[in-house]
Structure 1
Amino acid sequence: MTEEDYQKEQEYIRRQSEYIMIDWEKMFEQQDVCFRVYGKPPSLQNNQEKKLKFTKIVQSYTKQCPYIITNTCWIHIDYYCSELRRFKNPNMYDMDNIIKPILDALVGRDGLVVDDVLFDRVEVNWIDKNGLDEVEIRIEYPELHYQRKEDLSFFKNGLWCFPRIKMSNDIYENLVKRYFSIWNRINEDNCDELMYLLPKQVFIAYNKIQNKNFDFIDIDVPSEEDTLKNERWL
């Protein structure tokens, strides 16, 4: 390692340490979550080792956050890097390939969002600067839904999951069963009729989060026939 590379690495470590203590409580209270990661994100085409290394860096911040987002949100990414370096290395700075590893690093219990399907809007900007690459990540929404990580688990029925809070009771569980019953029979033909009965974008595919360190509780859901009978009596 040259002296120049050593100095760059030390600067990288020093600047990262400044952001280790993030006031997550205040940012979630203000519905505006923002932090920076120093260094270049991997491309989607990079090997798995580089992707895991970047995920580890991002989650060295986010795993300290006591909250996780459980519903729709927007993400804004500002990528600070040398314009000349980006133009000279187009394959290394391909926007399409860089976005996915960033989103992947933010999901799961050690991240900030349950799953990337909850990102309803993704905005990315290139910002010219000298020195090390930096990525500023901002997550927001007019009404950001989140829970404490320690309180969150999921009800599971078939291929789908629904958030379960620590204080869940029989009334809440029966409501969730009704949601599942509606979700299981919803399709393009009856979407307009039934979609308004559901909370917005809360169902998550089990195979997307089964390895993200969440706990799951299987529940039985009434059949479509039984649900329709009950609805006629409402």
Structure 2
Amino acid sequence: MSEITLDYGLGWLEDLREDGEIYLDIDISPVTLQSKNTQRKEELKKAVRSALSRLDYVLTGDVSFHLTWQLHEQKRLETSNSSDLDNILKPLIDSCCGIDCVLVDDNQLDDVHVQWVNYYDYDNDKVIITLNFNPSETIQKAKLVFVEIDKDLYLPITKYESVAERREAFDLLQTQYSARKTEIEKDGYLRATRRKNKMQRVFHKGRLCEYEMLNKNEYFE
């Protein structure tokens, strides 16, 4: 476990990788997807990305995203100033995605929960983001690439210094993927097949524009 203080006193992050959790407490009120206040959007995005960039790993599996908005009950119930819960989700989710953050793409989210709770400070509300994941479905950011395993489908993998290590890592992924395809041909395309085979999820190339994508031969070079 480690705690990271955000820049400019904007909150803190708790890294619980071994327990499959990242906890981010941000002293900034959320903004909506429709908001025209680009400065506020960038401020929030920068705060989240700055915190997540300090983690040395990326989440490569399915992730649960839990958002708690803390704001004063009177402001929430007795004014029209507070945003709808669904409208504040997208900017915060997007802030967690990308090469410097922890989500490869937002389609990794298989569970999203958002709520508001009463907060003592009327003038200053805040947000708490909790990401839950399988600790075994992570990979170091250093030397991360995506290698093609099938047409337009890629898997995250470390580009080791040793070619022998690269071959060993790729062969393991290829074996798992082949087993998955066999199960699909046998039982049909069910979500359970990937989890049953403990298979690393694939990513379509259209979701990987920020990342280095290689075919098998390029990976072995």
- Give the TM bin, normalised by the shorter chain: 0.7 to 0.9
Aligned to 1:145: 137
Q: CA deviation at 1:180?
A: 5.8
Indicate if the aligned counterparts of 1:72 and 1:144 stay in contact, CA closer than 8 A: no
Structure 1 letter corresponding to 2:204: A
Measure, in 2, the Cα distance between the counterparts of 1:193 and 1:44.
30
In structure 2, which of residues 34, 51, 55 is the aligned counterpart of residue 45 of structure 1? 34
- Name the SS for the 2:142 alignment partner: helix
Q: CA deviation at 1:201?
A: 6.0
In structure 2, which of residues 93, 99, 105 is the aligned counterpart of residue 103 of structure 1? 93
Which structure shows the bigger proportion of residues in strand conformation?
Answer: 2
Q: CA deviation at 1:28?
A: 1.1
Distance change in 2, residues 1:47/1:155 (3 Å): farther
Between the two proteins, the alignment pairs up a number of residues equal to: 201
Q: Greater CA radius of gyration, 1 or 2? A: 1
Q: How does 1:174-213 map to 2 (within 5 A)?
A: 174-177=171-174, 190-192=188-190, 195-196=193-194, 199-200=198-199, 202-211=201-210
TM-score (norm 2): 0.75
Aligned to 2:112: 122
**Cα displacement string for residues 51-92 of structure 1 (whole angstroms, at most 9, x for unaligned residues):** 3332112111111111111111212111111222233126x4
Q: How does 1:80-95 map to 2 (within 5 A)?
A: 80-87=70-77, 88-89=79-80, 92-95=82-85
Q: CA deviation at 1:99?
A: 0.8
Structure 1 letter corresponding to 2:159: K
Which structure shows the bigger proportion of residues in helix conformation?
Answer: 1
Aligned to 1:4: none
In structure 1, which of residues 68, 79, 104 is the aligned counterpart of residue 58 of structure 2? 68
Structure 2 gap ranges (5+): 1-5
Structure 2 letter corresponding to 1:149: K
Aligned to 1:132: 124
Measure, in 1, the Cα distance between the counterparts of 2:170 and 2:128.
39
Structure 1 gap ranges (5+): 1-11, 221-234
Distance change in 2, residues 1:23/1:128 (3 Å): closer
Aligned to 1:172: 169
Distance change in 2, residues 1:112/1:15 (3 Å): same
The answer as to 2:215 corresponding to 1:218 is yes
- Name the SS for the 1:78 alignment partner: strand
TM-score (norm 1): 0.71
**Cα displacement string for residues 186-222 of structure 1 (whole angstroms, at most 9, x for unaligned residues):** 68x83259935754561112222313xx2211237xx
The answer as to 2:75 corresponding to 1:55 is no
Measure, in 1, the Cα distance between the counterparts of 2:67 and 2:152.
31
CA RMSD of the aligned region, Å?
3.3
The answer as to 2:155 corresponding to 1:162 is yes
Measure, in 2, the Cα distance between the counterparts of 1:145 and 1:13.
28
Distance change in 2, residues 1:46/1:176 (3 Å): same
